[in-house]
Amino acid sequence: KYGLDGLDPTEVIEYLDRLPVSERPDDLIASVTPNDLALTSPAAELTLPLPEESFYLSIAPYMEQTHECYHHSLTTCLGELSNENVHVKIVDDAGEILVDEHTTTFDNGFVGFWVPSDTKGTIEITHDDLVGTTQFTATEESATCITDLHLA
C-alpha cells in the first residue's frame, strides 16, 4: 500500500524522507530512532533494525521557526526550508570530514545523512549568505532529528 515492499530499512528511510509532502501517507507513522525504524499503520506495527555501524541524522535548518523533535518522523516532521539549495559540512570531533556537499533540502525541509555510529561533531549548513552550526552525537541515546540549526 505504501510502496515499501522489497526495501530494506535504510531504503525505506530515504524513500519516505524524499517523498513530496503532498504524497505522504496520512495513516502511516514512520519514526527513526538510533537503532530502529518503527512503522505504525492502522493495520500493523513493525520495527526494523538499522545497520549497527550507521546513524541517520535528519537535519532541518531554519531561519525563523523550528519545532522540537527527538526521533525524526519521516511522515509528519516539517522544516522551514523546503526544496532549497544548501551546502552541508559534517565534521567529527577528531576533525574528519564526514560530509561536504551541496544538496537540496527535501520537500519536508530536511536533509538526511548517514554518519558512523558512536561519533560526535559539528554540522554546518550554508544557505545563500546565511550560515548555521550545531553539535551532534550519534549514540544509542542521541536525537535523530536535528532542528536547532539556526541560519543567520
Q: What is the pLDDT of residue 1?
A: 82
Under a CB-based contact definition with an 8 Å cutoff, are residues 91 and 122 in contact?
A: yes
Q: Where are the alpha helices (DSSP H) in 6-145?
A: 9-18
Under a CB-based contact definition with an 8 Å cutoff, are residues 38 and 27 in contact?
A: no
Q: What is the pTM of this model?
A: 0.94
If we measure between CA atoms, which residue out of 61, 63, 37, 60 comes closest to residue 50? 37
Q: What is the pLDDT of residue 62?
A: 98
For 21, phi and psi rounded to 5 degrees? -55, -40
Give the pLDDT confidence of 29-48 residue by residue, as tens digits: 999 999 999 999 999 999 99
